[in-house]
Structure 1
Amino acid sequence: MRTTLIIPTRNAEPYLDALLAALELQTRQPDHVLVVDSSSSDATVPRLRAWGADVRVIDASRFNHGGTRRWASEQTDADALIYMTQDAVPADPHSFAHLLAELDGAPDIGAAYGRQLPHAGADLLAVHARAFNYPAQSQTKRLSDAPRLGIKTCFSSDAFCAYRHAAMDAVGGFPADVIGSEDAYLAARLLMAGYAVRYAASACVYHSHDYTLLQEFKRYFDIGVFYGREGWIRDAFGAAGGEGRRYVISELEMLKNSHQLHRLPEALLRSGLKLVGYRLGHMEKWLPASLKPHISMFGNYWRRPAVAGSDQRTG
């Protein structure tokens, strides 16, 4: 199975020491490493080129979470594509080998995403988020699981995910223009076309975020925009409300077990901001265009000159 590793970057230098060291230790090396850099102003590009990566530089204003990944997939004819983010670090030398083995575990598996562990020193709430969304047990999800799993059926993550290239092409690949959640979009397309999505708990990376309250609000605004625009996903897999309630209950239980109930007001405020952000995202078509960049994690998405990904200029 010929494999290309694809990593979008933007001023990634703070992450490169850990990332490159972990990549060099992998027992299963990709045949090609393609980096798509959004005009970094630090040493990201020269460092990665010196390391041996194929680095393509695009205008930062034209980056799109779906369109740029779609364009990258068109630059390679590899059988499997591993997508990572610049801040995800393989947790052991077998991360790639395990991920590809689980992708190849059944002929109908179109995507396999790995387990995300919290970075050392991560906040307790970030630790809970990783444990809730990335448990220790692997799972294969098919469309028939939607009545049981709901919106979680199409949950996936491009922080560390491998796709069968032929399956991607069969369902049209990543969307050309999307604010985020391109991984859920592609997983949903795969599932609805009869493919399976594998959660590969054996393949681990370190990847977590200690979001501020404002960042949580903005992040869920963007998620709300995505699901508000992609109503077909909600129709096929259900709304996210039930999963959100389960998350809050799990988080409160974690605070109790960790003897940190003094953080209960913060946790409840954080959950409230997520809900408000998500609901506002659903209503974004009624919001002033001038407001949207200020309440979004991806302000440039609202300022972009054209649909990014349809004309990725490299240099």
Structure 2
Amino acid sequence: MLNVIVPTLNAAKDWPRFAPAILKCVRPEQVLIVDSESTDDTIELASEAGFKLCSVARAKFNHGGTRQMAAEMLPDAEILVYMTQDAVLAEPDALAKLQAAFGDPNVAAVYGRQLPRPGADPIEIHARNFNYPALSQTRSLSSRKQFGIKTVFLSNSLAAYRRSALMEVGGFPTNVIFGEDTITAARMLLAGYKIGYVAEARAYHSHSYTWMQEFKRYFDIGVLHSREHWLLEEFGQASGEGKRFLQSELTYLWRNAAAQLPVALTRTFGKMLGYRLGRAEDQLPLEIKRRLSMHPGFWVKPVANTHGL
């Protein structure tokens, strides 16, 4: 059995595109909405669609812990698909294509291709094309020699997990700022499993971040790498992948949108600064970290295990 889990917060604006697309792929009762005290019509819309519903206090939401809680609510699901409320499935068989990858018993998790949203700017388009190419692949632990830190790349905006393998590696971590998908992928690879990328399973999902949002996102990546330093020890530093991305981005913009080059360079500087500050977060006051982070709620309280919510 396959079940879809979607954390939501004020998702009404995304609903007209998100809900019809997912209902072309699965039955309503296969979808679990985990809502964080939305103040719009999200709960009503989910109920009208026939989706299963549960709630979590917004202050207690945790990217890993809340997703793990949802997994434990679905003990009969063999495959758990995680999506975000702004990811719009591109074809009615997108989830079936993800599920088919589990025909290999050594595959523990797979993720799909994220396409630029309609109206995406050139920087968005390049980022999606760079991170989600048209060619499918399967990675194992030995792939780290070729891909380095990219070996553990995986996104819960459109990802599926073999439930038994997820539980075998301890489930999602419950005390990370974000990157629960990355950590889980790494644990699975170290346990001898494989991670699949299914380019044919597609969804529209991208963001037009401001330079400040980029800064904050990379601050949080730095925090993740600082606190989970074993990721870099096992799979390599992030600097090589960053250089490869920058070279690709500048080449793409030079050919397609040269006027965006100054913007891209400014954003690159912000990302580098944010990442370095995140790596040094243990030297920063708590209030400063809260202001620099894209997830300020992570810093206002000790992060608790959310399984009992």
| TM surpasses 0.5 | yes
TM-score computed with the length of structure 2 as normaliser:
0.97
- The offset of 1:261, in angstroms, is 2.1
Q: Which runs of 5+ in 2 are unaligned?
A: none
In 2, Cα distance between the equivalents of 1:212 and 1:274?
11
Residue 211 (structure 1) aligned with residue 209 (structure 2):
yes
In 1, Cα distance between the equivalents of 2:302 and 2:132?
36
* 2:278 corresponds to which of 261, 276, 281: 281
- The offset of 1:3, in angstroms, is 1.0
1:80-113 Cα shifts (integer Å, max 9, x gaps): 00000000010111111111112x1311000000
Alpha-carbon contact 1:37-1:55 (below 8 Å) kept: yes
Residues 238-257 of structure 1: pairs in structure 2 closer than 5 A: 238-257=236-255
TM-score computed with the length of structure 1 as normaliser:
0.95
Residue 302 (structure 1) aligned with residue 299 (structure 2):
yes
- The offset of 1:23, in angstroms, is 1.3
Secondary structure of 1:151's match? helix
Q: Which runs of 5+ in 1 are unaligned?
A: none
Alpha-carbon contact 1:61-1:305 (below 8 Å) kept: no
- The offset of 1:257, in angstroms, is 1.4
In 2, Cα distance between the equivalents of 1:11 and 1:121?
22
Equivalent residue number for residue 168 of structure 2:
170
- The offset of 1:304, in angstroms, is 3.4
In 2, Cα distance between the equivalents of 1:197 and 1:282?
27
Equivalent residue number for residue 114 of structure 1:
112
- The offset of 1:301, in angstroms, is 1.1
Equivalent residue number for residue 186 of structure 2:
188
Count of aligned residue pairs for this structure pair:
308
Alpha-carbon contact 1:221-1:280 (below 8 Å) kept: yes
In 2, Cα distance between the equivalents of 1:144 and 1:81?
26
1:179-206 Cα shifts (integer Å, max 9, x gaps): 0111100000000000000001010000
1:7-46 Cα shifts (integer Å, max 9, x gaps): 00000000011111111222x5476211110000111011
Shift of the 249–162 alpha-carbon distance from structure 1 to 2, 3 Å rule, reads same
Alpha-carbon contact 1:111-1:198 (below 8 Å) kept: yes
Alpha-carbon contact 1:176-1:309 (below 8 Å) kept: yes
Residue 99 (structure 1) aligned with residue 98 (structure 2):
yes
Secondary structure of 1:162's match? strand
Residue 146 (structure 1) aligned with residue 136 (structure 2):
no
Could you say what the CA RMSD is over the residues aligned between the two structures, in angstroms? 1.2
In 2, Cα distance between the equivalents of 1:228 and 1:30?
40
In 1, Cα distance between the equivalents of 2:146 and 2:289?
35
